[in-house]
Structure 1
Amino acid sequence: MLSALGLDRDEECLYRHLVAATGSPSDLAGRAVLPLARTIEVLDCLVARGLAVAGPHGTFAAAPPAIALGALLRRQRDELHAAELALLALVDEHRRATSGRSAGDLVEVITDVGAVRHCFAQLQQGARHEVCSLIVPGLAVVPHKDNTAGDDGLRRGVHYRVIVDRESLAEPGLVQLAASSIAEGEEIRVVDRVPVKMIIVDGRTALLPLLSGQHTAPASVLVHASGLLDALIALFETLWTRAYPLWTDGATVGERGAGLEPFDTRIVALLLAGLTDQAIAGQLDTSLRTVQRRIHALMQRAGAETRIQLGWHAARNGWA
């Protein structure tokens, strides 16, 4: 109850015992069930705050609650009042600073496909620290292979974090592009479904579709620093924590101690990402029979009777 006045649990406990009766540190330690060293430390704090006084023969007594706690309560009220005044001043300052800003300063609508492509490239070219992307299936305005600005950003040392819709991994050539990007330092994770395609640059600007559900349409909205941008960043971070890391680079997995052949590491990564055997075969440019045979060999190596057990073993032993 006294925590609102700044007392921790031990301080409140000892003060209540002191109010009930004076005592020495050892006596109070026994009554409060605290170590002696901690009791002495807390008593020193209570004395420093005017809640306790040292008496004769090493004993301590409580300062009168009405005076001691009353002073703390008044101090808290004064600090809260000062904080309230500061808040009102900040609100007024913010209102003056933003009074001239319109919605157009925070959100821009771009409908021309050429302008959208230019904006998409320009955002990445101006990136200094990080680019966060949400990827949906069937990108049409700026296909993966045409995102040369992203390649340039990686080479400049910009950190890229990408969340891919699981369905996208079945698109021809996407896994090969992902492997190349991962080798350049890009982080890629997979989720069952990406709700909207989006790119966020340096936490200050976002680009996403203008209309709901129209991921392949060019009409887009550019969002600058605002509460809306904060919500978009929060959406990305939430998806990122839930997403599964996509490991398609054999060397990377090998460094984690897997000891598998690069071909097998890619099979495991795509299997754990949720692709079917047929989709894995298509992405790795091999036959369905070969993929199934390698998966069976991996299950034998892991001592797994089911694919779920293989997935558990792969995650536990750094196979993916």
Structure 2
Amino acid sequence: MLYSSDDCEGGDVLGILGLDESTERVYRELVLAGPCSVDALAVRLGLGRASVAEAVEALEDKSLANRNPVGLVQTAPPQLALGALLTAQRHALGQAELTAAALEEAYHAASAQNAHELVQVVIGADQVLQRLEYLQLNAESELLALVQARVEIPATCEGEAESVAVQRGVRYRVVIERAGLDGPQSAQSLSADVPMSEQLRVVETVPTKMVIADRNTVMLPLSLPGLDRSAADGPMALISRAPGLVNAMLGLFETIWQRALPVRKNGDEAVAADGPRQALPTPLDLRILSLLLVGATDAAIAKQLGLGLRTVQRRVAHMMELAEVSTRLQLGWQAHERGWLR
């Protein structure tokens, strides 16, 4: 049920999130009315322009509102914006959580008549990173990601938001570019710090950076030809729940995932073969082998894992002895046949 004008006078319900009464009134009006100028908001609410401008600035500081490409003030979907704040304070925010759900209903009811509202453009590095954190903190079951080696949008899936999501049972599937294995952070990202529940695969290149949450929301980097970078205030991203776009990006991800090679993470257990107990590669051997299979040289592997070049070469020779082969090509085939990298 939509809020009436009387409902919007309902007081400082969101005060626990740091919104005073006038700021909350401005936020509710934006949810109901859609993108507005500061002057239009002041007229609609009967408030002074300076008071409304101050409220809009407070909403922008909390990432509850931002300016669209034509300069109007707009809100993010309330479940994305408020949900991240509620996650950190859920034990004390029961009433605010109910308010967020009501605002979500009002938002979708107000925007249902305009299909373009299914797509939101976020501008600025801080705004993009915050939206990415919201996607992870609000994901319920699954998060899929394509990661390029060098892009201007902030890191795709890492940090506290990922840890919180994993603890809640969110499954991650991530495909990274092979060039990403050569960077200074690559050894860390493939270490034991990466959650064991996260599945990592590698391909030569990926066409775009992308995050898909729960198969219903997609986030993509966005560039507009000819747009002044200073006006854009940094990188831009597109966030959409449009089923057609989400399904297309899901198809792209699954196609890339199927042709990507798995990366063995530190701590994985070796898979024992059927029959009599046999000597098996160690977890370190399997990490070396997984990097070898995605095209890394012995020197690159040594740098990645903090080992000496001779150590890497000895471990490869040891695996060749275990597999009873004489070439590295045969080693790759036998590793597959014996299930070492499953």
Report the TM-score when normalising by structure 1.
0.62
1:249 aligns with 2:266: yes
Counterpart of 2:139? Answer: 127
Counterpart of 1:230? Answer: 247
CA drift of 1:180 comes to 2.8
Q: SS of the residue aligned with 2:169?
A: coil
Question: 1:107·1:222 contact (CA, 8 Å) conserved in 2?
Answer: yes
Amino acid paired to 1:271: L
Question: 2:219·2:239 contact (CA, 8 Å) conserved in 1?
Answer: yes
Q: SS of the residue aligned with 1:286?
A: coil
Moved more, 129-138 or 223-232: 223-232
Question: 1:254·1:260 contact (CA, 8 Å) conserved in 2?
Answer: no
Amino acid paired to 2:127: A
CA distance in 2 between counterparts of 1:107 and 1:302 reads 53
| Structure 2 portions without partners, runs of 5+ | 1-108, 226-233
1:164 aligns with 2:176: yes
Counterpart of 2:326? Answer: 305
Q: SS of the residue aligned with 1:185?
A: coil
Counterpart of 2:337? Answer: 316
Amino acid paired to 1:253: A
CA deviation map 1:290-315 (0-9, x unaligned): 21222123223322222111100111
1:109 aligns with 2:121: yes
CA drift of 1:278 comes to 1.5
Amino acid paired to 1:223: S
Question: 1:134·1:162 contact (CA, 8 Å) conserved in 2?
Answer: yes
Q: SS of the residue aligned with 2:307?
A: coil
Counterpart of 1:137? Answer: 149
Question: 2:323·2:334 contact (CA, 8 Å) conserved in 1?
Answer: yes
Among 275, 296, 304, which residue is 1:283 paired with? Answer: 304
Residues 280/212 of structure 1: CA separation in 2 closer, same or farther (3 Å cut): farther
CA drift of 1:159 comes to 0.9
Moved more, 155-164 or 134-143: 134-143
Residues 232/98 of structure 1: CA separation in 2 closer, same or farther (3 Å cut): farther
CA deviation map 1:211-258 (0-9, x unaligned): 299xxx721111213211110011111111222221223433356787
Q: SS of the residue aligned with 2:270?
A: helix
Q: SS of the residue aligned with 1:239?
A: helix
Counterpart of 1:205? Answer: 217
1:196 aligns with 2:208: yes
CA distance in 2 between counterparts of 1:158 and 1:316 reads 31
Between Structure 1 and Structure 2, the one with more helix by share is: 1
Give the CA RMSD over aligned residues.
2.7
Residues 34-53 of structure 1: pairs in structure 2 closer than 5 A: none
Amino acid paired to 1:311: G
Counterpart of 1:64? Answer: none
**Aligned residues: percent identity?**
38
CA distance in 2 between counterparts of 1:237 and 1:121 reads 23
Question: 2:175·2:257 contact (CA, 8 Å) conserved in 1?
Answer: yes
Residues 150/255 of structure 1: CA separation in 2 closer, same or farther (3 Å cut): farther
Question: 2:122·2:237 contact (CA, 8 Å) conserved in 1?
Answer: yes
Report the TM-score when normalising by structure 2.
0.59
| Structure 1 portions without partners, runs of 5+ | 1-96
Q: SS of the residue aligned with 1:301?
A: helix
CA drift of 1:140 comes to 5.0
CA distance in 2 between counterparts of 1:170 and 1:178 reads 12
CA distance in 1 between counterparts of 2:156 and 2:119 reads 26
CA distance in 1 between counterparts of 2:224 and 2:317 reads 43
Residues 147/101 of structure 1: CA separation in 2 closer, same or farther (3 Å cut): farther
Question: 2:201·2:262 contact (CA, 8 Å) conserved in 1?
Answer: yes
Amino acid paired to 2:120: E
Residues 225/256 of structure 1: CA separation in 2 closer, same or farther (3 Å cut): farther
CA distance in 1 between counterparts of 2:195 and 2:111 reads 47
